[in-house]
Amino acid sequence: MNRKPIALGARLKQFSSIQTLGFKPNFQDYSDREQNLIRNAKKIYYPTAFYADLFNVMGKKTFPSFHTYKFALDKIKQTAIFKLLGIPHPKTKIFYGKKQKQTILDSFDFPFIAKKARGSARGDDVYLIQNNEDLTHSLKNKGPAYIQQYLPIDRDMRVIIIGRKIRLAYWRIAPENNFKTNLSQGGTISFDPLPSKALDLALMTAQKCGWDDVGIDIIEHNNQFYVLEGNMKYGTKGFQKAGINYKEMMASLILEGKI
């Protein structure tokens, strides 16, 4: 009888205590034994976006959760769920097609933020729009225009939630002359304590949205906290700086039944 946790994605393949089967889009390419392991497992770890949908139909538990996969890299869906759930979020509107995009200035005054609506991460395809020229340049990206209120800050908060607990939280401080706080854009980490209200908001957001492996980004502006987005493909530099081996931590959480 197999007692090892079963994983598809290769995230933790270096750990022999977790049986990683790999991703095969043709299910019949798994051996009969592997197929039975998948069917009989109470939970599948790292099922990939492809199989997360299918396992959800079967009623099989996964980590990360089905909802975590469904909202990954989709700012439009995230904004919609924040509004539905009453989660504080900067004023945001999505404009489709040329006609709608021509009305952006009816809803927003300069400056404001324009982002690629789907598929972007690490602070890429995020623009501070200060004039008509900036707006014209940003609209060259295909797809809907994701326009968001600009709230001037010099730092934000990254709160990483794994399972139902906060595993790490830190400030991301923007470099000089740059409004982006992303570490990949030159931002730096500070482990100064975060406000408890921000931590509570992050945990509440993850739980309400059904996300169990996510980095929640929060800003404070005029004594109000806002959730910017959930990052399902968060980096691990924060863990490194905190002296935590991310993969060993994840393997331990799985083997101890905590996720």
Asked whether the beta carbons of 119 and 177 are under 8 A apart, the reply is no
Over residues 128-140, the pLDDT tens digits come to 999 999 999 999 8
Cα gap 177→58, rounded to integer Å: 50
Asked whether the beta carbons of 240 and 168 are under 8 A apart, the reply is no
Report the sign of the C-alpha dihedral through residues 67, 70, 72, 76, in that order: negative
Amino acid type, 192:
D
Q: How far is CA 66 from the centre of its chain?
A: 13
Residue 178 confidence class, pLDDT cut points 50, 70, 90: confident
* pLDDT, mean of residues 57-68: 98
Rg (CA), the chain: 20
Please state which CATH number belongs to domain 155-255.
3.30.470.20
Asked whether the beta carbons of 6 and 37 are under 8 A apart, the reply is yes
CATH 3.30.1490.20 given to domain 91-149: yes
| Res 124 pLDDT > 80 | no
Over residues 200-222, the pLDDT tens digits come to 999 999 999 999 999 999 999 99
CATH 3.30.1490.20 intervals, the chain: 91-149
Cα gap 178→188, rounded to integer Å: 12
Helix (H) or strand (E) holding 147: strand 145-149
Q: Which residues contact 242 (CB under 8 A, 6 or more apart)?
A: 168, 170, 191
CATH 3.30.470.20 intervals, the chain: 155-255
